[in-house]
Structure 1
Amino acid sequence: MMNTPIRAIITGTTGMVGEGVMHQCLQHPDVEAVLIINRKPSGYSHPKLKEIVHVNFFDLSAIEDQLGGYNACYFCLGISSVGISKDDYHNTTYTLTLNVAQTLVKHNPGMTFCYVSGAGTDSQEKGTGWAAVKGKTENDLMKLPFKQVFAFRPGFIKPIKGLSKTHNFYKYINWLYPIGRALYPAGFTTLQELAQAMINIAKHGYPTKVIEGKDIITLAKQG
């Protein structure tokens, strides 16, 4: 259990999940400081927030001296496998993620690293599709000498109302959420629940390393 305040690095805040996690962290009394690293400015400002704009996530040497002193990372950066080559998907999903993690662990060995993966990820790494790439990414992150590493596998995520990075298609599919949550709660979580679960897991830990939908809901209630 961590009694010290959370000092979190968040990636992917120009996307829906990262923006939501950042939003919850900035509101949360147990989060003392948030560092976001983006390729372009986020447009956000907050007393707890520091932003680094850095284009090349494959080489962090120019900003490495600013990455120490943090005890959590919420890695929300990711891309869809639709419409891109397998090499590009592997490069962004696996190579980039491992490079950032390897850099962070050098400076923050006491860090809890939370990786947003996805429902259906294949821990056995079978095949060459997205599920196997995500599985290899999860597995190799867990070999790094962080304090703890968790792979979050949400299914359908209900966005936080009022945030700017919500995908337009949610306007048309949000009606599915209450039905899905009632019939299959493990596959349907809110973005608030996901963010709260990530905050709570940094504070309290969790007995399993792969965090499925039902675990996200359980963790979000821990307070």
Structure 2
Amino acid sequence: MEKKRAQHNVIITGATGMVGEGVLMRCLESEEIDAILVINRKPCGYTHPKLKEIIHADFFDFSAIESQLSGYHACFFCLGISSVGVDGEVYYKMTYTLTMHVAETLSRLNNDMTFCYVSGGGTNENGRLKWAQVKGKTENDLTRLPFYQVFNFRPGFIKPLPGQKYAHKFYKYINWLFPIGRAIYPNGFCTMAELSDAMIHTFKHHNERRVLEGKDIIALAKE
């Protein structure tokens, strides 16, 4: 008798950004994902039988929607801002404080949850660059929360999926660089499909806490 696959219900944040949208698109196509909840400040523009959307403005206070956040097995956290031109205190609040509030809430409500955090290449809490320090602290403190698993993804350059609405416009001018960059420095280049599939494949792992660089993401995507 064939063993029945476990239920895989996921929460995705950042679905109105390039990475979150790509992960959402891939999850909608995946037979491994049974139900998807996206939490956004504005509608993501996607509809699907297994998709539910919550529009919520304040990501620093989830008390009004907590009753809808239980029963999920993973969070694919794709929400974030660039540090370019952003005040240091604002960047810390939007990167560390916001992420930790969401993570602490979800870990309290879902005791068997896997948390996948999209970080960045060069992240290091003890590094010289302020953004790398903030991202590194976020990564490290996420691993201390009572999640079943935590995976910190450092994808570098990401090639968008065809048809993405929220991909940065400049990608259509620089995508031709992808195969060259991948050949020269494979650890810094992955596709959106690889990043998304790697997140989905974390369900095949058990009680892990890992940092995934580009090569690790590509390998996990192929499992």
1:69 and 1:206 map into 2 onto residues whose CA distance is: 18
Cα contact 2:10–2:73 (8 A) shared by 1 = yes
Match of 2:50 in 1: 48
| 1:179 alignment partner in structure 2 | 180
Alignment RMSD (CA, Å): 1.5
Q: What SS class does the counterpart of residue 151 from structure 1 fall into? A: strand
The aligned residue for residue 100 of structure 2 is: 98
Distance (whole Å) between structure 1 residues aligned to residue 104 and residue 208 of structure 2 = 24
Displacement, 1:136? 0.2
* Letter paired with 1:130: W
Question: How far 1:183 sits from its partner (Å)?
Answer: 1.6
Q: CA deviation at 1:187?
A: 1.1
Distance of 2:80 and 2:142 partners within structure 1: 15
Displacement of 1:109 in angstroms is 1.1
Residue 8 of structure 2 contacts residue 33 of structure 2 at CA under 8 Å; is this kept in 1?
yes
How many correspondences in the alignment? 220
Return the match for 2:120 from 118, 126, 139.
Answer: 118
Deviation at 1:164, TM superposition (A): 0.3
Q: Which residue of 2 aligns with 1:197?
A: 198
* Structure 1: gaps of 5 or more residues: none
1:133-212 matches, cutoff 5 A: 133-205=134-206, 209-212=210-213
Shift of 1:108: 0.4
Using the alignment, how far apart are the partners of 2:173 and 2:109 within structure 1?
A: 43
Gaps of 5+ in 2: none
Percent identical pairs in the alignment equals: 62
Partners of 1:72 and 1:177 lie apart in 2 by: 30
SS in 2 for 1:87: helix
CA contact (8 A) 1:125 1:133 kept: no
**Contact 2:150/2:209 (CA < 8 Å) preserved in 1?**
no
TM-score by length of 1: 0.95
Say whether residues 1:19 and 2:21 are aligned partners.
Answer: yes
Distance 2:110 2:76 in 1: 14
Of 63, 66, 78, which aligns to 1:64?
66
Q: Give 3-state SS (helix, strand or coil) of 1:161's partner.
A: coil
The whole-number CA distance in structure 1 between the counterparts of 2:164 and 2:170 is 14
